[in-house]
Amino acid sequence: MPALLDNLATPLEQGPVKLALLNETHREPLRDACAADRDIWGIYPFSMLDENFDSSLERMESFHQTKNWVNYAVLHDGEVVGMTNYIGADPVNRVVEIGGTYIAPQVRGGPFNRAMKSLMIDHAIACGYTRIEFRVDTRNTRSMAAVLKLGAAHEGTLRKNRITWTGYVRDTAVFGLLADEWTQRNSTAG
């Protein structure tokens, strides 16, 4: 595994936000966190509810080796409140996607998601990645708005490109954020 990919797999923390490398100790707390919003899973490509939880988690964990994923448990003040991932890390082209993110309702809508994504973006850039991607089901308007607030550009929509666990054939909005855009935006925002 290239050094750029090895360096990406690091626990991250700032204030009440902690991203711990996903492991077996997170399984049951993550199961509980995912069950806190049963309705949201209809817009995800996979389900983390009930009988689907274990097989979906194992599938995600297998992507660590086969598809260059880095899987995180998301913690707020020490409590597991969700998950997120670096997806398809491409050290050669210096591109990585952030996705497969779920956070429980009690930490949505405020500064928590931005702090979590900022940690991940800053870390990816520090590891040498120059392009961060986000791919969002177009039905997930809240996530698309959050990605735009980060400064990512909507670069297009892949039409009917993925069949979700419910059988729905979704459209996927693709967003890109370049390292120099992120750095510039944050140096002028402070």
Between β-strands 169-178 and 131-137, what pairing exists: parallel, antiparallel or unpaired? antiparallel
Going by the DSSP 8-state scheme, the letter that residue 22 receives in this structure is P
> Taking a C-beta distance cutoff of 8 angstroms, is the pair 77, 16 a contact?
yes
* Residue 68 falls in which region: left (phi positive, over 0), alpha (psi -120 to 50) or beta: left
Q: Which CATH class is domain 3-189?
A: alpha beta
Residue type, 40: I
Going by the DSSP 8-state scheme, the letter that residue 90 receives in this structure is E
Digit-coded pLDDT (tens) for 20-29: 999 999 999 9
Structure confidence at residue 2 (pLDDT): 52
The structural domains of the chain, with segments of one domain joined by +, span 3-189
Digit-coded pLDDT (tens) for 97-147: 999 999 999 998 789 999 999 999 999 999 999 999 999 999 999 999 999
